[in-house]
Chain A
Amino acid sequence: MIARRTLLGAALGAPLAACAPPATAAVRIWAMGNEAAHLPALLAGYDTAHPGAAVSVQALPWTGAHEKLLTGFAGGSLPDVAQIGNTWLAELTALGAVAPLPADAATFTADQFPAVLDTNRIGGRLMALPWYVDTRLQFVRTDLFARAGYDTLPTDWAGWKRALHAVKRAGGDGRYAILLPVNEFEQLLTLALQTGEPLLRDDDTRGNFRSAGFKAALAFYVSLFREGLAPIVSAAQIANVWTEFARGFFAAYISGPWTVADLKARLPADLTGKWATQPMPGPDGPGAAAPGGSSLVVCRTARDPAAAWQLVRHLSTVGVQARFAQLSGDLPARPSAWRAAGLAADPLMAPFGVQLARARAVPKVPEWERIVSEMQIVAEQAVRGSRTIDSAAAEIDARVDRLLEKRRWMVEKDRAA
């Protein structure tokens, strides 16, 4: 077997050697979507500044990134550095897949948003360095809202919904007020966080989705579809979000900062100035949202941890962060980079700062990713009318309790130990 492997390795290496740089010394980094696309530009000149430090970037699709990281862990093929969604950190830490920040990390943990840094602290240790922060808010076609009689948007749920109804009426048949892809959990999660009710209970070992707060959020979410304000579609069915936004198929859309760059690049010129970003409405006044964003981790299996941390450090310097923000539209993790990039003065970007100030963290359990995807699956059934609000809430709790069974056992075991 071993002999065959080396043979195969030799056979496989030969034809590719011609077109690939020797990958021995390169630090391997996995990044997602938009961020991966801009990494090469951020790394231009990195190897001249750090002789002998080559970097090889692998782009993962966002939809498959989480499973890819787990597969990488299971198969022992993780890279040296990885971009991870902040909510995945608890899981990767529980697996022992990531290394804590080194002792001398104080230099790059200064100048960060405290709330975001706190989400990266697991069991008292800092496990990842924030790379960019984000949160979700609304992208709105101001011209369509103005046509419907709304020059500013209401900040409470009831008023906001009235505004959406007005837009829908003005838009007529075949058009909608807002796009909420039914396969994305973020929108419902945002509404649920706004109610202030914790989503898990009992030391995060049981679901808390039958609470009055979550039910209210779910009922509001479902009503947006039931009342014809949002089309019942998944993201895969919208051939092209920008085109549809430009055509007025919907007038509002909840997304993150990366969409600003997308819209700037893709919307036709005659729409300039006809769209804006707006913080989210809440149950009774401006609402919260989940602090999103990505951090960089160094995997425990990194071949050269020092080189890996060096790369992380480089990506978090203020200059690189500011440049990254300009390229990708992501919001830098370091407040001083906000100023350097001129984001605070940008009318499209400033609302994100406002929204971040109202961020509310999600539970730090390894199963979180699966919990929210189950939540969304059941919520979709409620949207399609095959479940009532009460039965959906009960079903989510039942599924979440099932998911957390192992965690309950492990918490017990730890108490016993």
Chain B
Amino acid sequence: MVREAGGAAMKARAILLNAAAVVVALVTLAPLMWMVAVSFMAPGEAAAFPPPLVPAHPTLDNYRTLFETYGIGRYFANSLLVSSLATGLALLFVVPAGYAFAKLRFRGRDRIFQLLVAALVIPGQIGMLPLFLELKALGLVNSYAGVLVPWLAGIFGIFLVRQYCLAIPTEMLEAARVDGASEGAILRRIVLPTLQPILVALALFVFLGSWNDFMWPLIILSDDRLYTLPVALAALSREHVQDNELMMAGSVVTTLPVLILFLALQRYYMRGLLAGSVKG
């Protein structure tokens, strides 16, 4: 009797809980769903009260305008290129360093690493103004090289890779050395395969980070042919404050790729996130 009542209460609570989760998820996703809905509306349709939630006559006109009049296809290609390069270069610079800081003995290794960890607290924006002047001197302003530069100096990536490499048994590396494998071969054949999950996570971090990056490309790129999506979108949205539906289409084009990428690789992403957040 008592137990049954308890069971019923438990059941009611479970239903409530699940309902709460649904509501919270809906509220969280509402802005994104609304963005998609409005992007299919006719110009001016969304500026009404009560705000319409579904397009009366779904149309692709906003997307057509974006691609034909505003050439958003180019910005999309630019973003894709910049993010791919940033990801490739960051991995190239960061992975060997992270491994070396974990597993290779050389003088000053730990001292340098401590310095790097201390530098993690320095926000990147501190050096932005001098960095601009420096790149100007190098002739890299208004070029993708200038946009990519901050991604080469990824201290956090080094930290993450090192964390992961510490788990690699040293005996394994030593055995390979005895067999006469060169250091480069060890990195390629033994270390990289074990690092795979964290490499995917790191690649994902850099790709999403550089795709979403705004302040630096905004400063360094003056030629609109080179704009990345966020910079182009911010410029467009300042010029077209009134064109709500068009802006939503632009937001969809900007946001959808990263969302899809995240959904496809979310397991790696979460794992990497948790590995990186265990800073002590």
- Which A residues have a C-beta under 8 Å from some C-beta of B? 1, 4-5, 8-9, 11-12, 15-16, 19-20, 23, 33, 56, 58-64, 68, 71-72, 74-77, 235-236, 239-243
B225 pairs with A74, CB closer than 8 A = no
Q: Does B255 contact A (CB under 8 A)?
A: no
| Size bin of chain B's contact surface | 20 to 34
Q: Which residues of chain A have C-beta atoms less than 8 A from B244's C-beta?
A: 239
Interface locus among B29-37, B101-109, B234-242, B259-267: B234-242
A20 pairs with B81, CB closer than 8 A = no
B225 pairs with A77, CB closer than 8 A = no
B141 pairs with A19, CB closer than 8 A = no
0/1 per residue, B205-240, Cβ < 8 Å to A?
000000000000001101111000000000110110
Q: How far is A99 from B230 in the complex, measured between Cα atoms in Å?
A: 34
Q: How far is A8 from B81 in the complex, measured between Cα atoms in Å?
A: 11
* Chain B 131-150 interface residues, beta-carbon cutoff 8 Å to A: 132, 135-136, 138-145, 148
Q: Which residues of chain A have C-beta atoms less than 8 A from B144's C-beta?
A: 8, 12
Q: How far is A395 from B193 in the complex, measured between Cα atoms in Å?
A: 65
Q: Does B257 contact A (CB under 8 A)?
A: no
Q: How far is A51 from B261 in the complex, measured between Cα atoms in Å?
A: 47
28 CB-based A-B contacts, threshold 8 Å: A5-B143, A8-B145, A8-B148, A9-B145, A12-B144, A15-B77, A15-B81, A19-B74, A19-B77, A20-B225, A58-B225, A59-B224, A59-B239, A61-B235, A61-B239, A63-B239, A64-B235, A74-B136, A75-B141, A75-B220, A76-B142, A77-B142, A77-B222, A235-B241, A239-B244, A240-B44, A240-B242, A242-B242
Q: Which residues of chain A have C-beta atoms less than 8 A from B132's C-beta?
A: 74-75
**Minimum Cβ distance to chain B for residue A74 (Å):** 7
Q: Which residues of chain B have C-beta atoms less than 8 A from A76's C-beta?
A: 136, 139, 141-142
Q: Which residues of chain B have C-beta atoms less than 8 A from A235's C-beta?
A: 241
Q: Is the interface of A mostly helix, strand, loop or mixed?
A: helix
Q: Which residues of chain B have C-beta atoms less than 8 A from A62's C-beta?
A: 239
**Minimum Cβ distance to chain A for residue B232 (Å):** 11
Q: Which residues of chain A have C-beta atoms less than 8 A from B74's C-beta?
A: 16, 19
Q: How far is A16 from B82 in the complex, measured between Cα atoms in Å?
A: 12
A12 pairs with B81, CB closer than 8 A = yes
B140 pairs with A5, CB closer than 8 A = yes
**Minimum Cβ distance to chain B for residue A54 (Å):** 14
Task: Give B219's nearest chain A residue, CB to CB.
Answer: A71
B220 pairs with A58, CB closer than 8 A = no
Q: Which residues of chain B have C-beta atoms less than 8 A from A23's C-beta?
A: 225
Q: Does B120 contact A (CB under 8 A)?
A: no
Q: Does B47 contact A (CB under 8 A)?
A: yes
0/1 per residue, B88-111, Cβ < 8 Å to A?
000000000000000000000000
A58 pairs with B223, CB closer than 8 A = yes
Q: Which residues of chain B have C-beta atoms less than 8 A from A77's C-beta?
A: 141-142, 222-223
B235 pairs with A241, CB closer than 8 A = no
Q: Does B85 contact A (CB under 8 A)?
A: yes
**Minimum Cβ distance to chain A for residue B265 (Å):** 24
**Minimum Cβ distance to chain B for residue A169 (Å):** 25
Q: How far is A61 from B241 in the complex, measured between Cα atoms in Å?
A: 11
A63-B238 CB under 8 A given contacts A75-B222, A240-B47: yes
Task: Give B82's nearest chain A residue, CB to CB.
Answer: A12
B85 pairs with A72, CB closer than 8 A = no
Q: Which residues of chain B have C-beta atoms less than 8 A from A8's C-beta?
A: 85, 143-145, 148
A72 pairs with B238, CB closer than 8 A = no
Q: How far is A199 from B74 in the complex, measured between Cα atoms in Å?
A: 46
Q: Which residues of chain B have C-beta atoms less than 8 A from A68's C-beta?
A: 222
Q: Which residues of chain A have C-beta atoms less than 8 A from B148's C-beta?
A: 8
Q: How far is A64 from B218 in the complex, measured between Cα atoms in Å?
A: 11
> Which of A4, A20, A236, A242 is within 8 Å of B241, CB to CB?
A236
Q: Which residues of chain A have C-beta atoms less than 8 A from B145's C-beta?
A: 4-5, 8-9
> Which of A5, A11, A239 is within 8 Å of B85, CB to CB?
A11
Q: Which residues of chain B have C-beta atoms less than 8 A from A61's C-beta?
A: 235-236, 238-239
**Minimum Cβ distance to chain A for residue B65 (Å):** 13
> Which of A20, A33, A60, A243 is within 8 Å of B44, CB to CB?
A243
A241 pairs with B242, CB closer than 8 A = yes
A75 pairs with B242, CB closer than 8 A = no
B44 pairs with A75, CB closer than 8 A = no
* Known contacts A75-B132, A239-B47; 16 further A-B pairs (Cβ under 8 A): A1-B138, A5-B145, A9-B145, A12-B81, A20-B225, A33-B239, A61-B235, A61-B236, A71-B219, A72-B222, A74-B136, A75-B142, A76-B136, A77-B141, A235-B241, A243-B44
Q: Which residues of chain A have C-beta atoms less than 8 A from B85's C-beta?
A: 8, 11
**Minimum Cβ distance to chain A for residue B213 (Å):** 17
A58 pairs with B141, CB closer than 8 A = no
B222 pairs with A71, CB closer than 8 A = yes
For the complex of A and B, list the 9 residue pairs with the smallest distance between their C-beta atoms, beginning with the closest: A75-B141, A77-B142, A61-B239, A240-B242, A61-B238, A77-B222, A72-B222, A58-B224, A8-B145
Q: Which residues of chain A have C-beta atoms less than 8 A from B239's C-beta?
A: 33, 59, 61-63
Q: Which residues of chain B have C-beta atoms less than 8 A from A240's C-beta?
A: 44, 47, 242
Q: How far is A61 from B220 in the complex, measured between Cα atoms in Å?
A: 17
